[in-house]
Amino acid sequence: MRWRWSTWTSTATATPPSSPAASSSGAIARALVLRPKILLLDEPFSNLDALLRVRLREELRLIQRSLKITAVFVTHDQEEALSLADRIAVMRKGELQQLDKPAIIYATPRNLFVADFIGAMNMLDGTAEGGNIRVGDKLLPAPAGIAQSATKVALRPEDVTVTTGGDGAWSGVVTSASDLGHYRKVFVKTENLGVLKLFLPKSVDAVEGETLAFKPTRYLVFHGQDKPAEMHL
Query: With the C-alpha atoms ordered 155, 159, 165, 167, is the resulting torsion angle positive or negative?
Result: negative
In the chain, the domains with their CATH numbers are 2-86 (3.40.50.300), 120-232 (2.40.50.140)
Q: For 147-187, what is each residue's pLDDT tens digit?
A: 878 899 999 999 999 999 888 899 999 999 999 989 999 99
Q: What's the Cα-to-Cα distance from 41 to each of 50, 88, 157, 187, rounded to whole Å? A: 18, 14, 31, 36
pLDDT of residue 188: 98
Q: Which of these, 148, 151, 169, lies nearest to 160 by C-alpha position?
A: 169
- d(C-alpha 72, C-alpha 64), whole Å: 11
Contact 24, 44 (CB under 8 A): yes
Q: For 101-118, what is each residue's pLDDT tens digit?
A: 999 999 999 999 999 999
- d(C-alpha 124, C-alpha 21), whole Å: 41
77 CB neighbour count, 10 Å cutoff = 15
- d(C-alpha 80, C-alpha 176), whole Å: 26
Q: Which of these, 116, 69, 121, 125, lies nearest to 97 by C-alpha position?
A: 116
The mean predicted confidence, pLDDT, of the chain is 88
Q: In the structure, what pLDDT confidence band is assigned to residue 9 with cuts at 50, 70 and 90? A: very low
Amino acid in the structure at residue 69: I
- d(C-alpha 215, C-alpha 164), whole Å: 10
Q: In the structure, what pLDDT confidence band is assigned to residue 21 with cuts at 50, 70 and 90? A: low
Predicted TM-score of the model (pTM): 0.84
Q: For 83-102, what is each residue's pLDDT tens digit?
A: 999 999 999 999 999 999 99
List Cβ neighbours of 87 (8 Å cut-off, separation of 6 or more): 99, 100, 101, 102
Query: With the C-alpha atoms ordered 22, 27, 28, 31, is the resulting torsion angle positive or negative?
Result: positive
The span from the first CA to the last CA of the chain, in angstroms, equals: 49
Contact 61, 84 (CB under 8 A): yes
